[in-house]
Amino acid sequence: MTEKEKSQQGLLYNANYDEELIEERLFAKGLCYDYNQLHPRQLNKREAIIKTLLGKTSDHFLIEQPFVCDYGYNIEIGENFYSNHNIVMLDGAKVVFGDNVFVAPNCGFYTAGHPFDVEQRNEGLEIVAPITVGNNVWIGGGVNVIAGVTIGDNTIIGAGSVVTKNIPSGVIAAGNPCRVLREITEEDKTKYRRN
């Protein structure tokens, strides 16, 4: 069994020293480098690189520069996906975003974890678990989402949160560790004035 196959089955695998995985990461990081060097107005070229890099994209999306990922092919974005500057996705496992997801600056999505045993860790072993973000989710600035987490539909994650456990649909959650503060209510529809 290859190291990549082990990772896909949720087993410890060697991410640091496996030639196949190193080459895949170098390919993805090369595309990220090219993407991040483009002038911001070169939207068509930016879109073409993201469509080459990611496993699944939609018709309408925008990922602000800089953007960094490990493999790219494990990332799926839904319709109207938007991420602000400086997003990092360590996608050893799937990172899936639904439709109408907004991600603020300086956010990270980390599917990798490492063994507690120092000898295994020093061998370069790691384990991965997927991250899933539902539809209509807003993730505030500086949020970190950890391996194995699912965030439900219509949820808001407050700025600076560290999301270590699943968050249900229709709530506002924040903190380190992130926890549910309250449900989103009908009153929230009139919180801000519209012209």
Q: Which residues are catalytic?
A: 114
Residue with tokens 């996705």: 89
Give residues with Cβ within 8 angstroms of 12, minimum separation 6: 6, 115, 120, 125, 126, 127
Residue with tokens 């990092």: 88
> Under a CB-based contact definition with an 8 Å cutoff, are residues 36 and 55 in contact?
no
What is the number of other CB atoms lying within 10 angstroms of the CB of residue 28?
22
DSSP state letters, 59-93: SSEEEPSPEEES-STTEE--TTEEE-SSEEEE-SS
Residue with tokens 């990270």: 108
The whole-angstrom separation of Cα 29 and Cα 80 is 24
> Under a CB-based contact definition with an 8 Å cutoff, are residues 173 and 156 in contact?
yes
> Under a CB-based contact definition with an 8 Å cutoff, are residues 82 and 101 in contact?
yes
